[in-house]
Amino acid sequence: MTLAEQVLQNRRRAIARLITYIENEHPAAQAELATLFPHTGRAHLVGVTGAPGTGKSSLVNELAKGIRATGKTVAIIAVDPTSPFSGGAILGDRIRMRELAGDRGVFIRSMASRGSLGGLARGVYDAINVFDAAGFDMVLIETVGVGQGEVDIARTAHTVLVVEAPGLGDDIQAIKAGILEIADIFVVNKADKPGANKTAAALRAMLDLGNPTGGQMLHHGVLLSVAATPPSPAPPSDWDYPILKTTATAGDGVDTLIETIFRHHHHLTQSGKLADRNRARLAADLENRLQTELLRRLLARTPNGTLSEIIGKLVKRTLSPYNAVHLLLEE
Amino acid sequence: MPERKIRVLVAKPGLDGHDRGAKVVARALRDAGMEVIYTGLRQTPDMIVESALQEDVDVVGLSILSGAHMALLPIIAQKLKEADMAHVLIVAGGIIPDEDIAALKEAGIDAVFNPGTPTQEIVNFITTHVATE
């Protein structure tokens, strides 16, 4: 029986082996994945991202426990960074997920980023398809601890959770571009720590700047009323971008978060946005694959030494990078 | 095109809470370019075998200082075989008396590294013994 056939029967050994093939770009992987592809597209893909130390792994553990309690099966892909120096990695996300051990409805796979800079690993896309085809109802994808710009998860998942923790930055951080723009649901984790309400308020204020509503406020002791700004030309989003507070280590707030994740999926389905997102993620995936393959083919047909010769000219400034590209493409 | 990375599960079976040795080894393997899945303390044999299977590792490294090695390590080796993971290299470290080593090897533990072993020796053992496809 082929690996793909075994994956379709949810055989755990085959799932694990095929993901290894994907990571190592084993020649057999593509054919197996092609067999699986028609069986994908059913799982709800949920991304969990945020700065290092905000509690992503602990939260994923609690989410998986809670989602299992609803009867759904869960696969987890946890990405940790590869060392840029040795190429090795320490993948420590399982430490926080020990409570999930022994449950056949859960499958956890740790992946090293292996040089990808967008917060995921190159193999994540295909690994998702393996879990999807194996019949898992939900795939939770935990990114590496990210800064502000690693937003690959936005074109990978249906529902993106951005996890914040108190004390990480002021309210200008909250209106910067990047990671905060990709959230469907904001989570302020470690809500038992001082400053959690302030962090939630800063996120709320950031969202309200984009869609000002009317209200009353105290200004130097005087109660002022502010009218809502007229509606902007773009129709207001009908998703409310909830900001939820959790304490993952105690399980507080996790039930509400799970209800909200399900509500978001329902919203995507009802509004037709799920189809849009699926189309966008397949388009992004195709573009990625084309880039990789075109580069591979170009380098394969470039004669040995040509590349290093061109780089030598760049160093001496006798050739510009712009002309170098043309030269290589027309070689 | 990409090199095949060696994946290692580092686990602490049983009840002792001393994980410094496991962390030192994990770090050394990382610096040797391996991907190390670190599971943390107090793992049962079933947890270790299931993690090894899901992560599809080439090597399982077990650190044990509680004295329960004769009870736990052979069970882990046996369960790995039953899970169709007989190809996995099993190495152990910690406080393991010399007179127990022969019995452990008989039970399927491929190497035992006692305190004072240079980490490079562990790296070398793994890189030479991991089954390459």
Which residues have CB under 8 Å from A162's CB, separation 6+? A49, A50, A179, A180, A182, A183, A185, A186, A187
Domain match, A74 and A164 both: yes
- Do A33 and A49 lie in one domain? The reply is no
- Is A11 an interface residue toward B (CB < 8 Å)? no
Clarify whether residues A219 and A171 are in a common domain. yes
What pLDDT, on a 0 to 100 scale, did the predictor assign at position B2?
A: 56
- Domain presence at residue A283: no
- Tell which of A251, A272, A293 closes a domain: A272
pLDDT tens string, chain A, 331 residues long: the values are 999 999 999 999 999 999 999 999 999 999 999 999 999 999 999 999 988 888 999 999 999 999 999 999 999 999 988 888 888 888 988 888 888 888 899 999 999 988 787 788 889 999 999 999 999 999 999 998 877 667 788 889 999 999 988 877 655 565 565 677 889 999 999 999 988 888 888 888 877 776 656 566 667 777 777 666 555 555 556 898 999 999 998 999 999 999 999 999 999 999 999 999 999 999 988 998 899 889 989 989 888 889 999 999 999 999 999 999 999 988 6
**Whole-Å CA distances, A25 to A122, A131, B3, B82:** 10, 18, 9, 28
Among residues A222, A240, A272, the one where a domain terminates is: A272
Chain A with chain B: Cβ pairs closer than 8 A: 86
How many domains does the structure of chain A reveal? 2
Backbone phi and psi for residue A208, each to the nearest 5 degrees, phi listed first: -70, -30
Inside any domain, residue A324? no
Tell whether A315 is covered by a domain.
no
Does B84 sit within 8 Å of A90, measured CB to CB? no
Q: Is residue A73 part of a domain?
A: yes
Q: Is the pLDDT of residue B87 over 60?
A: yes
The Cα A230–Cα A236 span in angstroms is 11
Q: How many CB atoms are closer than 10 A to CB B95?
A: 15
Q: Is the pLDDT of residue B25 over 90?
A: yes
Q: Is residue A127 part of a domain?
A: yes
Is B32 an interface residue toward A (CB < 8 Å)? yes
Q: What is the ipTM of this complex?
A: 0.90
Q: Are residues A104 and A79 in the same domain?
A: yes
Q: Are strands A222-226 and A159-164 parallel, antiparallel or unpaired?
A: unpaired
Q: Does B28 touch chain A (CB under 8 A)?
A: no
In a domain, A24, yes or no: yes
Residue B29 forms contact with A (CB below 8 Å): yes
Tokens of A98: 């020990």
Give residue A26's domain range. 1-39
Cross-chain Cβ contact B54/A98 below 8 Å: no
The C-alpha of B110 sits at a distance from chain A's nearest C-alpha, in angstroms, of: 22
Asked if A79 and A19 sit in the same domain, the reply is: no
Are A4 and A144 in the same domain?
Answer: no
The reply to whether A8 and A100 lie within a common domain is no
Contacting residues of B for A86, CB less than 8 Å apart: 30-33
Q: Do A63 and A137 belong to one domain?
A: yes
Asked if B5 reaches chain A (Cβ–Cβ under 8 Å), the answer is yes
- Is residue A81 a part of any domain in this protein? yes
Chain B residue closest to A85 (CA)? B31
Same domain for A56 and A161?
A: yes
Please say whether the beta carbons of B126 and B6 come within 8 A: yes
Please report, for the domain that includes residue A49, its CATH number: 3.40.50.300
Q: Are residues A122 and A199 in the same domain?
A: yes
Q: B40 pLDDT band (50/70/90 cuts)?
A: confident
Domain assignment present for A237: yes
Q: How close A147 comes to chain B (CA, Å)?
A: 23
- Quick one: pLDDT at residue B1? 43
Mark which of A233, A250, A272 sits at the end of a domain.
Answer: A272
Give the span between the Cα atoms of A121 and A126, in whole angstroms: 10
**Is A297 in the B-facing interface, judged by CB distances under 8 Å?**
no
How many angstroms separate the CA atoms of B18 and B95, rounded? 11
Instruction: State whether residue B30 sits within 8 Å of chain A by CB.
Output: yes
Q: Does residue A225 share a domain with residue A206?
A: yes
Subunit contact B38:A92, Cβ cutoff 8 A: yes
Looking at residue B41, its pLDDT comes to 87
Minimum Cα–Cα distance from B5: chain A residue: A24
Q: Taking CB atoms and an 8 Å cutoff, what residues of chain A touch B4?
A: 24
Contact A88 B83 (CB under 8 A): no
Calculate how close chain B gets to A123, using CA atoms only, in Å. Answer: 12
- Is the same domain home to A59 and A153? yes
How many CA atoms lie within 13 Å of B95's alpha carbon, on the beta-carbon side? Answer: 8
